[in-house]
Every structure is written in structure tokens, then in C-alpha cells.
Structure 1
Amino acid sequence: MKKNLLLIAFVFSIFLLPQQVLAVDFSITNTEINAYLQEDGDVQVKEQHTYQFDSDFNGITRTLIPKEQTEITDFQAFENDRSLDVEQEENLFKIYRSGSEEEIQIDLSYTITNGVELYTDLGQFYWPFFDTSNESTYQNMDIFIHPPQATEDVLTLGYDEAYETSSIASDGIVHFAMGEVESGTNGDIRVAYNASLFPAADLKENKTIREDILADKTELKAKQEAYENRQDLLSRISPYIVSGLFIYLIALVMIGWRKKNSRIREVERSSMQSLYLPNQGLSLPATILYIRNMSVSSELVSAALLDLVRKGYVKRDGESKFVVVSSNTDFQHENILIEWLFHKIGEKGAFSLEDLDAYTKNKDNHSTYHSDFGKWREAVKEEVKQNQLFEKKKGVRWTAGIVSLLIIPFIIMLGVHSLFMWMIFSIFLSISLLLFAIFYQPQTIQGVRIRQQCKHLSSNYEKISENDWNDSMSDEQMKAYIYAIGTGNKSMQKKFEHLSKNLSPTSTADSSLQTNDLVMFMLIASAVTNQFDNADSTVSATTSNSGSIPGGGTGVGGGGGGSGAF
């Protein structure tokens, strides 16, 4: 069950967890950028960023990734005309201004050399002030492009977030009123003026670009119209698709639930309730594994070792040492366990808790421990599989799985077309169907019978009287206690300990086990369980380091940038 929960948590985390956790809590409430185009083709930029901090901070950051054949120079930062310290790390500028829970307004200035691209007819400023590497949302962004002198001959175009946000003033100043700009998005701006306004700039290429810009504008408009048409179509068909998938999911769950209840009722009619573990041909470790929903833990290893003692294949030699009596066991996994514990961890058929402690403290043995543990675990699982306690239901599961995968392209289309409500519903349905395909394995009649008998034992064990317990065979008592250890049932373990203290001296007269065997068995069981738990923790302990490499340059010409804080 623990493994299943971890898998579910992992699947949901893909959609729900943020990619990066920021140490500083802030928002960028307003950003204004003014770009002044110069006659020599350089661009002087002045930016003003308003930050609202809700925690302690040391400063802000601004990433500026220049396009090819351009350069960012003369970067400076101010607050109320007071110069601030700046530290540059490649394309990242760190502006130092510490404080706590306040609003600040920072002014930045820098020059983009060769920012204007000059052609025979036009000079264009085609620039990405941010790109998909930006990790912060600008709550309100305004960009103003100023020509070297007033003019009426202006071409303007915005891409992605900047599309159809521009307006042109009478003097040729272009305003991109972009409003909220989410993190991880592009928004290139493109403004072109008559080439005569840049007499000192170097010619980039001996050709005209007016027709190219107009063609781009026409193409973007056509793409936008097609986008809106697809958006309208998706918004109309989404309710039907999502409703159909929801009905399909509910039908799968209801049919599975009805079949499960039907099997439970059949088992209740045909089975006798008792305080003994089921005798269905399964070994005790396999029964425990089945009840634990195939989740293996160190408690299962402890239970398997104690079961070897119960069955007489291993005998106790003192309080923490065990010796093999016979390797002619009933199940393959019992042979594997004996080989692992008594010949690899221990020596010559003897195993002690001290051997386990010494073995797992040596890091060179960790890989072998994992390998041997996995080999034994798979052997126990194989016994469960061979007893056909689950129905495979391959057709139903494969169909649900394929449907869940087919929803993914639909989810992507909904997200691309900003239909986020239907996208969220579709994500839920896709994950639900995928989990159904992974985990749906209805139990057979035999499987239900075993589970119901174990459930009856667990729920009624606390009610057992001392007389009833003394009348039980010692072997059944030990099986119940081993079952409690393997399943982690603390209430059964406490009841066993209580009954053992009041054990009648004659209650085990007909058994190969003596009264003191049960009492000693109870004592060593706790030590064995603790030692295997410690061993598992020692071997499984790992350390991990993670880091991130800032991305960028997804804007036009390989440029881009973003903002942040530290």
C-alpha cells in the first residue's frame, strides 16, 4: 500500500508541484520599459520595476540575454536616484538592496549596442525583453519604443504575449500595453522606422524588409483567426467529451465495486468464521504479502524468519542466534531466505542479529543486500501469483490505459487554447483512468476468502478469551503472532503478549512447542523485527543533491531574459 501511495503521489506531483521553490516571497506589481533608439543603431534602455516583498530579501535580479551581434553594456541600478551595487554573472545582474516586507521601486539603465538592425528601407528594433526562462510573473508590463525623432512612418508587430498589444502615438512612439505577463512565456516586440532616421548605423543587409514585416503580420493574423476557430470548436465539444469520459470512469468503478461486493457475499455464505489463519495452500509470508497488497517491508523478512523457526527448519540458539536444521523446505522463497541469511550474511548455516548488524554496516554489502532481498521478495510474490488470487482483467485495464493516454493530446490542445477548466477536468480523468489501469486487479473467490478470514482474525483477536486461547494449538498461536508482526498489527501483538503472560502450563502439552518456547518466541520476535528494520534503514539511506541550470535565449535571435529576487 505504501508503494501504491508513493506512485499516486508521484503522478499527481507531475501536474501539481512547481518546478522551483523560491526562498524569497515577492511579486512584481508593475514594470515599465522605455527603449530609446539612437541614430547610430544603439538602444538606450531605462526600466522601472516595482517589487512587493512579503519576506526578507537581499535584492533583485535581472537577466538580459543579448541577441547575436549585440551586447549589453553600461548596466546600472538606482533607487530614488541613489546608485545601487550590481554584481554580474554572465547574463545575470544581481542588484543589492536588502529589506523586509516592503514595496520598492528600482530603476535600471543599460545600452544595447547594435540593437537596431538597419536595412535599405527600414531600421527595425526586434527584441525579446523576456523569454521562457523567466521565472517571475510581471503583473503589469508596459513597453515604450522611442524613435530618434518624431515620425509617422511606423510598422509594429508583437509576438506571443505581445500580439495585438501595440498602439502608435502621433510622434511615432510605440506603446506595447501587455498587462500581465506570466512566467515562462515569450513576447518579442518588433518596431520598424524609416532607414533615414539612423544615418550613423551600419547596414546589416542590403535588402528591404517592409514586405517581410507585412507578410509576418498577415500570417500572424491568419494564425490567430485559426486559433480562435479551434478554440471555439474545442469549447463546444469539450463538455461532451469530458462527460463521456466521466461516465466511462464511473461505470468502470461501479462495475468493479458491484463485483467485489458480490464475491464478498458469496464468501460469507460459504465460509466458516474462525480465529485461525486461512489454510488455502499459501505460505505465511505469501499470505502476509497478499494482505499487505503486495507491499514488502522489513517486517515481512522478520516474519519469514520466525516462520522458519515455527516450522522447524531453523532452531533458536540463544536469544539472538539461529541455526539451520533442514534446507528441505516447502517453498522456493524459503530456500532463498536460508541461503541469504544463513550462508551470505551468516556463516555455515548459522545466523545472528550481530551478523546482520555487521553485514549492513559495511557499505560494500549494500548492493548485494538489495539484490538478495529483491530475489527473495520476487519469489514470495511469485507464490502469490501462482495461486491466482487476482483476476488479470487485461482487456478492461488495457482499454482504460489506452483511453487515459489518448486524452493527453486533448489535454495539450485545451491548454494551448487556454481552456483551462476543461483541461483540469481532463487531467483528472486521465490520471484516474491511468491509476485504474495500473491498480485494478479484482480478487478471485479464493483471494476474497483469504482476505475475509484474515480480516475476521484481526478484528476479533482482541476479543479472544484466555480459555479459548489456551485451547488453541500452539502452532496456530505462533502463526497468528507472526502474522501480526508481518502485517504490523500492534493490537494483535499486544493481545498475544497479554495472553502469553497468563499461559496455562498444560496448554501446550500436546504440541512440540513448550510453554517457555512461546514466551521466548515473543521476546526474540521483537528483537528480530527491530534489527531487520534498522538494517533496511541503513541500506536504504541515500543522499541526493539537486541543482538547476538557468535556461534562456528562447526569444528572437537567441535573446531573452527575466526578473527575480534573492
Structure 2
Amino acid sequence: MRIIKKVFYFLFLFVFVLIPFCIPQKAAFAASGTYSISQININASVNESGDMSVTEDYTYLFTGSFNGIKRDIETNGSAGLYDVSVQVAKGSEIETPKFEINNINNGKEIKIYSASKNETKDFIINYKIKNVVTKYSDLAELKWIFYKNESNVTTNKATVYLSLPKNIDSSVKYSGEGPKRGTISLDGNNRIKLQLNDLGDNDIIGASVTFPPTWINSSRSINMSKASYDTMIKRQKIIKALAIVVLLALIVGLILIVIYTSGRKRRNAIKAYRENYVFYNGEYYSELPSNLPPEFVAMLMDKVLGINELMASILNLANKGVINFNQDPISNHNYKMLCFTINTHIQDYNLYESEHYLVTWLKTYCKNNLVYLSDIKDNADKSKFSDKFTEWKNITQKETNTPEFHISILGKSILTNKYEDERIKWLAFKSYLRDSNHTEFASLKLNTVMPYAIVLNESATMLKNLKQYNIYDDISLNNNIFINYWFLNYFTCMYYEEINKHYNDYVNNSDNNNTNSFNNFSDGSGGGFGGGGGSSAF
């Protein structure tokens, strides 16, 4: 018995392995290669019954081997598809291939079998759509999407010709649906012509047409005017929307209760975490709370890093001795030539990763070992500057988003007690800069303060005090850049404003370049229209 079972097992295995080799070659033929559609020509004609006869001609360019093509036709907005026929043309040769019609969501799939290899073929599909026109008491309306590039097939051109039951006159109103670059017009044969070139992913080509109701003797009829029907539908949508709003309000109410409960629980947990730590509670703090880089201080303040913080970080590199500003332009008040050198042994300065990246970035602007502020400004509207700036911000955020700086309590990330205390001190220091008198201002270590004054938005106060109190004999000629009024004024005001403007111009232009400026079609996506569906090879 065991031997018989083994014999049957090996016979079954043998047949199973042999089956693929017994299938005819055409059926086993698999698609491999690339294809595109050079043009789509669609001729559609609406008859007096409200049905539409359609002839579609697809010119496919095959590179490689394919079994045929598929055409999906969505029939929503109609009473269905019927009377389908197919032809394939290659040069003067025309054949009637095998095809099948399959059900898909909202329509039919026409699958045409025509083996193709490194050639150009025309696939001609004829079909009729029943009841595509809606007949109102005052007008008849056709809203139909003839094609949608839903498979993102490279398609050079699509043209649709639409005929109505009678000659088109001034009583007919029409508009195109799809990207604005599409065009709609009347051709010489009294047909509506729609054209769209270079179809992108999910691009559509469709039309909205109204004409006298007497041109149609049947089709879907609605016993009221179009305006009245639209009003009724709008009212129904409002009622439905109100019901949804009420339901959503109940859901939102429940969610708010959950949020409030969990929020109160979280607040209590945070309070418990904070209560045993002694936080600074003075109104003023008269010295730098720490030597964190100014960009880190900005993150403690929950600020969005911008050009302001970048300028503060550059100035702080000078404070650390990593860069040295050239004295000649400062002495000569030549703001166009303001520049600095970068010290070669930056590994000696124990820099944070964000500072090290900033130095490497600044080196890309070096000319004869000098980095000119004007070059930074001139490059601020370039994509490379934007990329480097974004990466610098990302590195800074990564460095401050660590367990040393933040702790998660019931899903909420907050500053650790140490850095919450430091944040409070920085706010008190900001108040001190803002309100300090002559004596207090004179006691500040100005060579370290200005980078932090910039991120605390108190640089204007610093400049005002520096000029008003006139602490030094000649604040405009002093070689120390941190007490040189002329230099600090240009650095924190003019250069900041110009670099910020150049950068924002780049960002705004990038946004504008992503918007279309085409016309003629509605730029709609086919909402409220019938039809649709695309084509692809297999």
C-alpha cells in the first residue's frame, strides 16, 4: 500500500511540473519591456435617445514583448456599456482579435489579446453607453470623463471629438474638465473638440455640455429645472452634512472627555516630576546661564530655527575663536568687504556637531582663505544654501532631542528639570538685557552676550545701549567686534535682513514653481462627472 501511495505521489508531482510546458506558447507569453501611447483619438456621438456611441483609437508603441492591452471604462452616471467590438491595426493590416469583458468597480474592463513585440499598433474599440444624458425641464446635460490616465502611462496626446443630436449653436454651453493646459473648441465639422497633451498621472479629459432638452426624446428625465434640482440636492447634502456634524459632535465630545481626562492625568504626572526640583524664580538673571550654543538656546525657547539663529551661530563661532573677522573692512567701514578666516584646527575647539557642520558649510564659500558675508548673502537664494541650512537645522534638532534635554511623560515630551530651569534663567536674562541700566550694561561681558541677544530678540536693545551709554572711547572704531557698534549694526541688521530676504525669495519662488499657470480646462478632477477609466498594456 505504501508503494502505491509513493507511485501516485511521484506521478502527481511529475504532472504538476509538466503542466507549464504543455500550455501553448502564446498563453504562457509574459509581458516584458516598456510601452507608451503616442496618441488617443476618441470620437463620441450622443443620439436622440441620450445614448452615446464611442470609437476610441489608441496608438501603442511597444518596446519588448506584450500580450495586449486593457481598457477600463467606468460607467457610473449611465445605464451601462453595450455593443462592444474591437479591431487591431498594424499599418494597412486590420484584424479582429480575441477580447473579453470583465466586471470591475464602477464599470467594465475590456481586455484585448494581441501579442506585440517591438512594434507600433492601433487598438480600435467601439462601444455604446446607455443614458449618459440627464434631461431636465429646461435643459439636457452631459457630464462625462472620456479618459483618465490612472495607470500613469506615458501619453503624448489625447483628442476627443463630441457630436450632439443636432448642430451646435448658441444654445449649447460647454466647458472642459481636466488640467488647465487642456483646450476646448468647436472644429469645422460642428463638433466639440477637446485636446490634452503630455498626460500626467491621473490626468483626465472630459466635458460638461448643456443643450436644449427637446434634442433628447428619452434618457434619464428629471421633472424639474436644473437649478431646482441642484437646490434640492444641495438641501439634501446640507441635511446629510448636519446629521454628520451632529454625529461628529458627539464623537468629538467623547474624544474631548478622553483628552481632558488623560491631559489632567499627564499634567498631574508632570507636576509630580517638577515638584521636588528647585527652579530659579528671580525676575532677572545678570549673566549667561550657560555656554550652550545660541541655536540650542533657541530650541530651549521652542523657537523655529531661522536665519536669525544662523547669524547668531556664526557670531558665536567668532566668540569661540573658530573664525576671525578681518579688521581692515571694519576699520574702514567697508561693509561690502566684511569677511572672516576659518582656523584650520577646528578639532581643538570641542564643537558640537551642528557647529562643526556650520564650519564645514562656511568653508564652501572660501575665496583665498576668506569668507565674505556678501557671498553668503548672494548664495542665500540658491538651492544648495537651502539644503545646507535645512541639514544644519536638522542636526541641531537632533542634538537637542535627547534624554539629556527631554523626557517623555505619558506620551508628552517636555524639557528635563535641568533644562527647564535653564530655560527660565534664559528668560530672566532676556529681561535683564531689556531693562538693564548704565551700570548693569557696563558690567556685562559684551564679547559673549551678543550672539545670545540675537536669539533672545534683544540685539536692538544691545545696540541702543551700546550707542547710548558710550561706554568705550570710540565704539565705532574699536577693534573688538563685539563692542564695535558699526560692525554689529551691519551684521545684525543689514546682513541679516538681506540674507533673510534672499532665502525667503528662494523658498517662495520654489512654492510658486509648483503651481500651474495653464488655462482653458477647469483644472477639476472630475467630481460629479460620469465615466472615466484608463488603458494599459499587459
Q: Secondary structure at the match of 1:322?
A: strand
Cα distance, 1:498–1:240 mapped onto 2, change above 3 Å = closer
Q: Which residue of 2 aligns with 1:323?
A: 341
Equivalent pair of 1:471/1:507 in contact (CA under 8 Å): no
More strand by share: 2
Are 1:73 and 1:110, in contact at CA under 8 Å, matched by a contact in 2? no
> Secondary structure, in 3 states, of the residue corresponding to 1:504?
coil
In the alignment, the residues of structure 1 paired with residue 473 and residue 524 of structure 2 have an alpha-carbon distance, to the nearest angstrom, of 73
- Confirm or deny that 1:530 pairs with 2:497: yes
Question: What residue is the counterpart of 1:545 in the other structure?
Answer: 515
> CA offset at residue 521 of structure 1?
3.1
Output one character per residue of 1:319-344: Cα deviation in whole Å (capped at 9) or x when no partner.
Answer: 42111135233222222111111x21
Q: What is the percent sequence identity of the aligned residues?
A: 12
- Any residues of structure 2 matched to 1:21-420 within 5 Å, and which? 47-48=136-137, 63-65=142-144, 72-74=164-166, 88-89=192-193, 92=207, 108-109=212-213, 111-112=215-216, 127=220, 140-141=228-229, 180-182=232-234, 242-258=252-268, 269=279, 274-279=285-290, 282-293=292-303, 295-317=304-326, 318-319=329-330, 320-325=338-343, 326-328=345-347, 329=349, 330-341=351-362, 343-347=363-367, 349-360=369-380, 366-386=382-402, 388-393=404-409, 396-397=410-411
Aligned pairs, number: 338
Contact 1:44 / 1:110 at 8 angstroms: preserved in 2? no
Corresponding residue number in structure 1 for 2:455: 486
| 3-state SS in 2 of match to 1:470 | helix
Change (3 A) 1:356 1:538: farther
**Cα 1:235–1:505 shift into 2, 3 Å:** closer
* Contact 2:143 2:529 (8 Å CA) reproduced: no
Kept in 2: contact 1:47–1:108 (CA 8 A):
no
Give distance in 2, aligned partners of 1:236 and 1:289: 41
**Cα 1:554–1:286, aligned 2, differ >3 Å: closer, same or farther?**
same
Structure-1 separation of matches of 2:236 and 2:373: 55
1:91-142 CA distances to partner (integer Å, 9 max, x unpaired)? Answer: 63678xxxxxxxxxxx823535xx86xxxxxxxx5x498xxxxxxx96632x
Query: Contact (CA 8 Å) 1:503, 1:515: kept in 2 or not?
Result: no
Structure 1: where are the runs of 5+ without partners? Answer: 1-34, 51-60, 96-106, 117-124, 130-136, 142-177, 186-227, 398-439, 560-566
Q: CA deviation at 1:84?
A: 7.2
- CA distance, structure 2, for counterparts of residue 335 and residue 344 of structure 1: 13
Contact (CA 8 Å) 2:446, 2:483: kept in 1 or not?
Answer: no
Equivalent in the alignment of 2:102: none
How far apart, CA to CA, are the structure 1 residues paired with 2:424 and 2:132? 78
Task: Provide the residue aligned with 2:16 in structure 1.
Answer: none
Shift of 1:498: 1.9
Moved more, 513-522 or 494-503: 513-522
Conservation of the 8 A alpha-carbon contact between 2:279 and 2:421: no
CA change 1:254–1:506 in 2 (3 A) is farther
Amino acid at match of 1:314: I
Aligned to 1:214: none
Correspondences of 1:514-529 after superposition (within 5 Å): 516-517=483-484, 520-529=487-496
Provide the residue aligned with 1:419 in structure 2: none
Q: CA deviation at 1:297?
A: 0.9
The yes-or-no answer on 1:496 pairing with 2:462 is: yes
1:5-24 equivalences under 5 Å are: none
Shift of the alpha carbon at 1:248? 1.0
Mark the CA change 1:307 to 1:500 in structure 2 (over 3 Å): closer, same or farther: same
Do the aligned partners of residues 128 and 532 (structure 1) sit closer, same or farther apart at CA in structure 2, a change above 3 Å counting? Answer: farther
1:140 corresponds to which letter in structure 2? S
> Is the contact between residue 50 and residue 133 of structure 2 (CA under 8 Å) also seen in structure 1?
yes
1:496 positional shift: 0.8
Which whole-Å CA distance do the structure 1 matches of 2:137 and 2:275 have between them? 72
Describe the SS at the equivalent of 1:391.
Answer: strand
Which TM-score applies when normalising by structure 1?
0.49
Contact kept? 2:323, 2:340, Cα under 8 Å: yes
8 Å Cα contact 1:263/1:448 also seen in 2: no
Task: Note if contact 2:459-2:492 (Cα within 8 Å) is conserved in structure 1.
Answer: no
CA distance in 1, matches of 2:145, 2:391: 56
SS at 1:65's partner residue? strand
Alpha-carbon contact 1:500-1:519 (below 8 Å) kept:
no
SS state of the match for residue 165, structure 2? strand
- For residues 71 and 268 of structure 1, the distance between their equivalents in structure 2, rounded to whole angstroms, comes to 83
SS in 1 for 2:367: coil
Q: Please list the CA deviations of residues 19-47 of structure 1 after superposition, one character each: whole Å capped at 9, or x if unmatched.
A: xxxxxxxxxxxxxxxx9999xx9999864
Deviation at 1:346, TM superposition (A): 2.4
Task: For residue 392 of structure 1, give the secondary structure of its aligned residue in structure 2.
Answer: strand
Change (3 A) 1:270 1:552: closer
- The answer (yes or no) to whether the contact 1:37–1:44 under 8 Å persists in 2 is yes
Q: CA deviation digits over 1:346-395, x for unaligned, max 9? A: 2354211222244346xxxx3432332233222222321246322234xx
1:289, 1:300 within 8 Å by CA — same for their partners in 2? Answer: no
Is the 1:332–1:379 Cα contact (8 Å) retained in structure 2? yes
- TM-score, length basis structure 2: 0.51
Q: Is the 8 A contact 1:315 1:324 kept in 2?
A: yes
How big is each residue's C-alpha offset from its partner over 1:119-166, in whole Å with a ceiling of 9 and x where there is no partner? xxxxxx5x498xxxxxxx96632xxxxxxxxxxxxxxxxxxxxxxxxx
Structure having the higher helix fraction is 1
Give the whole-Å Cα distance in 1 for the aligned partners of 2:480 and 2:145: 83
In structure 2, what is the Cα distance between the partners aligned to 1:335 and 1:372? 13
Work out the CA distance in 1 between the residues paired with 2:132 and 2:376: 71
Q: Secondary structure at the match of 1:551?
A: coil
- Deviations along 1:45-70, one digit per CA (max 9) or x if unpaired, are 864559xxxxxxxxxx95443999x9
Structure 2 residue runs without a partner (length 5+): 1-47, 52-129, 148-161, 175-185, 187-191, 195-205, 331-337, 534-538
Helix, strand or coil at the partner of 2:346: coil
Kindly tell me: are residues 322 and 292 of structure 1, through their superposed partners in 2, closer, same or farther at Cα, counting changes over 3 Å?
farther
Deviation at 1:285, TM superposition (A): 1.9
Distance 1:42 1:92, change over 3 A: closer
